[in-house]
Chains A and B, each alone.
Chain A
Amino acid sequence: MKKLILTVLLTLIATPASAQFVLKGGEIHTVSGEVIPKGSVLIGKDGKIEAVDKVVLSPPGYEVVNCEGKVITPGLIDINTSLGLGDIWAVRNSVDGDGGTENDKIRSAFRAADALNPNNVAIPITRTGGVTSIVAVPWGGLVSGQGAWVDLGGENMFSTLVDPYVVMSMHLGESGSNAAGGSRGLAMLRLRELYDDVAFFKQNARNFDQNRSRTLAASRLDLVALQDTVGGAKPVFIEAQRASDILAALEFAKAQKLKPVIVGGAEAWMVAEQLKEANVPVILHSMSNLPFRFEALGNRGDAVDVLHRAGVNVLLSSFESHNVRNLRQYAGNAVRTGLPHDVALKAITLGPATALGKDKDYGSLEKGKMANVVVWSGDPFEHSTRVERMFIAGKDTSLDNRQQRLMEKYRNLDRRAEPAKPGYEVENKTEREGPEPTTLEAKVQ
């Protein structure tokens, strides 16, 4: 209940007193329905989508955003990032997403939300890629802790924490093995013991409080945090790459009544049938195709398409922190290797929202949903396309960012004098300048 209040509060804080907008005349990819070749999206004062219409509207009192020739999509959602959890990776004190020590393998009570820097400088940069929501996921240990849902807009800050606990993160395979002490067997053993004690604690909390309990596999708060995962109220990210690790994850999840999402899934295509059968989504890195670890020997570049064709629910993520803006490139590359365009768009919008139970508010352009909307100059996945307008919770959100400011600062170089000449002759000057610059451009597509 407390969490609910917190969530509501945070949402209220985030809800700006915005104007009403009509995005007029654009090609609308609602994701939940058909593509509307030329229609309108109405954004209300409450920050919600008021209507998605198949005709071009200009209702009075609405600020008009001309979207002729533009593409309108829901804001993109990156379901598995470390954005906000580290300002600069090599500056230890700015990195905050690893919630434990080596002896502390179970960190289920650790909340990424507590570690998150809502003013992380990468957040406005992320917006330039059309991303409006991310899940910040902690790392390290066998159970890393709780991932937070963050919207990349806010009144006074770069972002707004929407929900501090949308997913629990844990690891099998090589990471799990390393955390547990050096064997996959140990990782499974620890997890089984842990969930035994989650159940035990639930029934014996009073005895525990009166100091009449055996030693448990994790701390009190860790066990409490995991209770929500039993029965599936909170989904669980299980990192698993090798086919056998994925099967182990499915079996464990079934036994403990968890709602799993496989993360990584380098060899997921080898167990596509089982994944489909269990109705378990997989978060993939569409540009990963090398056997980067021994658990990923079967990794292949077209896995996303292979899984999709086998009926598995595929989700895409950048797995990034500072370059979450490239999420659209990941989707585009999945299309390059065979995935249908609409499926790729869904895999970075409605797919992740649904997997984390947020589809009531996020992931598609539908009446009543959060007005997280992006206006693109063209196909969202193409490198030539830019984000032209962005609305987060109905608020017209700036695309300005630190890199943009640096660019402007150095657009002209103010020097007191010419730089010194080198102590050598610069030959081939003409070669450097190349032939006359041509304005000729081959057509993209």
Chain B
Amino acid sequence: MLRRFLICFALVAAGCSGTAEEQKKEDPKPVDYTYAPQDEYRSRNLVPTKSAPENVLIKDATIMTATGELIEDGDIWLREGKIVAIGVELDAVEATVVDAKGKFVTPGIIDTHSHLGVYPTPGVRAHADGNEATSPTRADVDAIHSVWPQDPGFYTALQGGITSLQILPGSANLIGGSTVTLQMHPGVSSRAMLFEGAPRGIKMACGENPKRVYGNKGGPSTRMGNMAGFRKAFQGAKEALDGYERHAKNVGKAKAEEGADTPPDPKRSRANETLMAVLEGKTLVHVHCYRADEMVQILELADEYGFRIRSFHHAVEAYKIRDVLAKWDVSVSTWADWWGFKIEAHDAIVENAGLLQEAGVRAIIHSDSATGIQRLNQEAAKAFYQAKASGLKVTENDALRWITANPAWALGVSDVTGTLDEGKRADVVVWSAHPFSVYAKAEKVWVEGVREFDIEKGAPEWSDFKVYQVPEAVR
């Protein structure tokens, strides 16, 4: 829909629009500002990629489905990008057989919080594209425009079993911009990596970062300034939304009254329209927020403007308000054990995820790191075993869901991925050992049924940046 708008806009800009008469002949229509899933509103895929989903039967593995079911010596059949069947001693027609005796199979790992591509390696200034830190509310920017698909970190993340991930703008801004959900297919353009059908997301940030960045740049310089900044932005969006609704009514009236003039379009603003989509519940809201008291303030803000928070990110104090978060059905994306780098991260505890789980909150272990994303299984393991040692009621399946089903929900893609279920996307990992073991390696990774990584085949490096950078003789 927006694409239509964009094309229309392009034509106007190029001075090729139809004549005035032609336009008048059309029925007056309200401006369509609603945004569809992320792939539809973005421009056409100019650089299509090849994708060859396998017909493959993975045999005799311990299958951890993340649905609560554990199948010993189980088989899983992938065809045409989907999981066709899961069971014991399956018969799969014309399928390539992968012997996975002694191996473990899980859903593809999903990370709700990554800056791969927007803060790629090497970490040079010229590559630092994650924070549009020129003013504190930048709902108009979009992370996909900063994603550098040649970031070597994508391939190493895939080797850690990651099949999809959300790339967010940084946390310098109160409203950092749109996020993008990617899947692990390589491509020259980041468009090749778009997760088809994923809803749109937006990144907001409270606490120390915005006030630090803008303290000497016109504010906000305090937490109350942060909240004022949020309210100002959403108030503006609310008024814009009212304006669009008035416009739609006027269009309706003009239609009804023969010969009436078509009302002029409202003034378009990408920033407002992005926030309007938030107000209308069409965009999932991800908020970087450490402290419990600030999370409560953000919930109040959302309540005031009538939208929902999909996930609090980092949220090291979420355990203090886990009953509230359960009631409001807000997921929490956090680390296993990061803490101490700033005062708002001082009260982190390793049991955070476990306590949230116990209280019925969808807990998620995220990475926020090009290194951590390669071992989310281990991060989940750390949080899981610490929770168990502290006597919390968590199961291995719960902990597996922290890096599969729950992040899938936070990104709005849980109906198509995140668990091993028949009919879901074939996002599947074969591990050399139990994925919570420090020694486990992701040996084979299928993304939508495409075997994007196989440890035995030693596939070529995705990133052009890595090509012939060091003498080959010493390799």
Contacts and interface: CB of A to CB of B under 8 A. Distances in A.
Nearest to A270: B474
Interface stretch (A141-149, A228-236, A322-330): A322-330
What is the size category of the interface that chain B forms with chain A?
35 or more
A292 B405 CA distance: 31
11 contacts: A88-B346, A90-B343, A323-B339, A410-B320, A413-B322, A418-B327, A426-B327, A435-B67, A436-B68, A439-B395, A445-B433
A437 B68 contact: yes
A interface SS class: loop
Nearest to A401: B349
B327 A444 contact: no
A322 B341 contact: yes
Given A293-B123, A336-B438, A437-B397, A383 B378 contact: yes
A445 B347 contact: no
Given A291-B465, A333-B375, A423-B306, A437 B64 contact: no
A424 B320 contact: no
Contact of B341 (A89, A332, A439): A89
A421 interface: yes
B215 to A, nearest CB: 13
A421 B340 contact: no
B470 interface: yes
Contacts of B124: 293-294
Interface in B314-337: 319-324, 327-329, 337
Contacts of B390: 407
B350 interface: yes
Interface in B352-381: 355, 360, 362, 370-371, 374-375, 378, 381
A179 B397 CA distance: 50
Interface stretch (A205-213, A282-290, A355-363): A282-290
Given A88-B346, A90-B208, A413-B322, 14 more contacts: A91-B342, A270-B470, A290-B121, A290-B370, A297-B122, A298-B469, A333-B438, A384-B437, A403-B350, A410-B320, A422-B299, A426-B327, A432-B329, A443-B434
Given A91-B343, A444-B436, A291 B469 contact: yes
Given A291-B469, A386-B385, A442-B62, A329 B340 contact: no
A439 B303 CA distance: 38
A226 interface: no
A410 B342 contact: no
Given A336-B441, A422-B329, A292 B401 contact: no
Given A403-B349, A437-B398, A438-B397, A292 B122 contact: yes
Contacts, number: 183
Q: Which size class do A's interface residues fall under?
A: 35 or more
B39 interface: no
Given A386-B389, A435-B67, A290 B439 contact: no
A444 B401 contact: no
Contact of A407 (B323, B339, B351, B474): B351
B294 interface: no
Nearest to B441: A336
Given A384-B385, A403-B349, A410 B355 contact: yes
Contacts of A246: none
Contacts of B327: 418-419, 421-422, 426
A441 interface: yes
Interface of A: 87-91, 122, 267, 269-270, 287-294, 296-298, 301, 321-323, 325-326, 329, 332-333, 335-336, 381-384, 386, 403, 406-407, 410, 413, 415, 418-419, 421-424, 426, 431-445
A235 to B, nearest CB: 27
Interface of B: 62, 64, 67-70, 104, 121-124, 152-153, 156, 208, 212, 299, 303, 306, 308, 319-324, 327-329, 337-343, 346-351, 355, 360, 362, 370-371, 374-375, 378, 381-382, 384-385, 389-390, 393, 395-398, 401, 405, 409, 414, 433-434, 436-441, 465-466, 469-471, 474
Contacts of B338: 323
B351 A297 contact: no
Contacts of B385: 383-384, 386
Contacts of B123: 292-293
Given A270-B470, A422-B328, A426-B329, A442 B349 contact: no
Contacts of A333: 375, 378, 438
A270 B351 contact: no
Nearest to B377: A383
A157 to B, nearest CB: 19
A383 B382 contact: yes
Nearest to B328: A422
Contacts of B466: 291
A90 B342 contact: yes
A296 B397 contact: no
B365 to A, nearest CB: 12
A434 B343 CA distance: 35
Contact of B437 (A289, A292, A419, A445): A445
B438 A415 contact: no
Nearest to A443: B434
A326 B337 contact: yes
Contacts of A439: 395
B436 A384 contact: yes
Contact of B153 (A122, A290, A293, A441): A290
A323 B379 CA distance: 13
Contacts of B339: 322-323, 403
A440 B70 contact: yes
Contacts of B436: 383-384, 444
Nearest to A297: B469
**9 closest residue pairs by CB, A with B:** A332-B438, A322-B340, A90-B342, A435-B68, A298-B470, A383-B381, A419-B324, A426-B329, A290-B121
Contact of A442 (B64, B308, B340, B375): B64
Contacts of A421: 327
A441 B156 contact: no
B122 A433 contact: no
A434 B406 CA distance: 10
B69 A438 contact: yes
A159 to B, nearest CB: 16
Given A288-B371, A406-B347, A410-B355, A433 B437 contact: no
A298 B472 CA distance: 10
A353 B471 CA distance: 34
Nearest to A122: B340
Contacts of A323: 337-340
Given A88-B340, A291-B121, A322-B341, A432 B362 contact: yes
